[in-house]
Chain A
């Protein structure tokens, strides 16, 4: 009696998968999903950072800040009164909230870049 090969081949066992492979695959997928969200967050923050940078630079461009600072530089003195004058002149041209916004964006961006480096390492170690 002859029997189709297919019947036998279907019964031959496959290789056993290594321990933990199933979990590693799922972990990779979870990290990938996180990476997508993370990339989106970084893009939003980068846009925000560039926008705030643009706002500050346009404020500088619109003002006669350079001539004001030139005047201050000409009368340079290393004392508290002089430094207070410089700070006051600066905040007159660029409002403090813009500066805070720019600095906050700058630090958040830096922090996210730092986290993304750690995240990259995490992805490599999950392999």
Chain B
């Protein structure tokens, strides 16, 4: 994860119109946003177009970013909304990437899924991640890698907070099941 102070300086410079600073932001996020969009739309060419649109929107709106808020969440929110708009236009109806499952499960033993056995190696995790639903993979990445809070994920994916909690729970459970089936 990049140095937060350094990143803040880059964002401030980009807000002032420094193109080199914006390019640094592009280097930091292009791969992540492209992957996120690819998981959402499932086609490389479409993900490529949407990545371009996302960064253009980011450039147009960077002056309005509130530095007290999580920049990662803001970038993901722009990307997600761009993909939703595109899906709506292409398929003619609004489509949610993340299913609203309600709060059907008690999430009391969620922490059980936060840990994995050390014998489950990196390849096994990668395999498991590639075999769970794409929306689960996204939410796990946003939560663990991007370190976004539940609320930030809800904002970034434009879904209710409870949907994030239930999906995250199911994602962890699904990952664990994949790992067990691999053994």
Contact = CB atoms under 8 A, between A and B. Distances in A.
**Does more than half of chain B's interface fall in helix, strand or loop, or is it mixed?**
helix
B31 to A, nearest CB: 5
Contacts of B140: 5, 9
**Does more than half of chain A's interface fall in helix, strand or loop, or is it mixed?**
helix
B106 interface: no
B145 A4 contact: no
B59 A10 contact: no
Contact of B172 (A5, A22, A29): A5
Contacts of A29: 19, 22, 55-56, 59
A69 interface: no
A34 to B, nearest CB: 13
28 contacts: A2-B115, A3-B118, A5-B113, A6-B114, A6-B144, A9-B140, A9-B141, A10-B144, A14-B31, A14-B32, A15-B31, A15-B34, A15-B35, A15-B47, A16-B31, A18-B44, A21-B48, A21-B51, A22-B26, A22-B27, A22-B30, A25-B26, A25-B30, A25-B55, A28-B52, A28-B56, A29-B56, A32-B60
B149 to A, nearest CB: 14
A4 B145 CA distance: 12
Interface stretch (B67-75, B88-96, B122-130, B153-161): B122-130
A44 interface: no
Closest A-B pairs by Cβ, 4 of them: A2-B115, A6-B144, A14-B35, A15-B35
Contacts of A32: 56, 59-60
Nearest to B49: A127
A5 B26 contact: no
A4 B19 CA distance: 38
Contacts of B172: 5
Interface string B66-105: 0000000000000000000000000000000000000000
Contacts of A6: 114, 144-145
A11 B140 CA distance: 13
A5 B34 CA distance: 23
Contact of A15 (B22, B27, B38, B115): B38
Given A8-B125, A127-B49, A127-B52, A21 B145 contact: no
